[in-house]
Amino acid sequence: SEYKPIDISIIPTSCLLEESIVGSSDSAFASFVRTLSASGWLSQGHKAYQHQAGKKCPYCQQDLPDTFETDLASCFDEQYKKSVAELEQFVAAYKASLNAIHTLLTENGKNPFTCELLSEYKTKFDLFMERAQNNVALLKQKTDDPAKTVILPDLSDILLDINSVIEQINAKIKEYNAVIDARGRKQQDCIAQVWQLMAFVCRSEIAVHKSGKDRHATDIERLSGELSKAKEDSDAL
């Protein structure tokens, strides 16, 4: 069977990666957090330690004000939560598309057909995986700190290169399958080519044989004439 090409369009894009996702509240605490660009750090710390730290700050151990939860909520308004949810959905879709491409390329690699292009296919496959893993690491940075801006390197160039190799491999598979489909005719062609090769390799021996055959034919013709004359003479006697 032929290799399956990659559908590059399945990789999603999002403008959220290059946006700093922060709350829009105008409270003093929210403004303070935005000034420090600490919303991601604050959100991570709160999720990790809110059930363990009690009423103390898990970092400096000072008592938290009674309004802390309210102040914290002001940093993450509804628009912030909506953007974060959209970001998480995008990241999940992006990872799913990479996993689908990885599965397809791995299945292609199990194809029993062999040719000189397989090493190039593997090299480009490994390069894609390396770049994909780097992009996943960048996405993790963005989800850990939504306020951080991230630019994902485009993977379409390496995927187009892989598709080009797949196209070349498939062309060879088609040639191979055409030979198998026309096995009977190809066997006759092979026999004819073998005879042609033997004639070429043995051309000097064949030339000597033909020369000797022509010489012997002349001798046979001469001797046959002499034999006929001898019979005539014998009959006359």
What is the per-residue pLDDT across 109-165, written as a single tens digit (0 to 9) for each?
999 999 999 999 999 999 999 999 999 999 999 998 888 889 999 999 999 999 999
At 61 the pLDDT is: 75
Instruction: Show the low-confidence residues of the chain (pLDDT under 70).
Output: 23-54, 58-59, 65-78
Taking alpha carbons only, the member of 73, 74, 166, 177 closest to residue 128 is 166
Judged by phi (left if over 0) then psi (alpha if -120 to 50, else beta), residue 37 lies in: left
What pLDDT sits at residue 101?
97
Residue 152 and residue 135: Cα distance in Å, rounded? Answer: 6
The whole-model pTM stands at 0.63
Q: What is the pLDDT of residue 174?
A: 96
pLDDT at position 76: 55
Q: Are 124 and 162 in contact (CB under 8 A)?
A: yes
- 48: closest CA among 144, 137, 141? 144
Provide the β-strand partners of residue 56.
63
Helix (H, G, I), strand (E, B) or coil at 56: strand
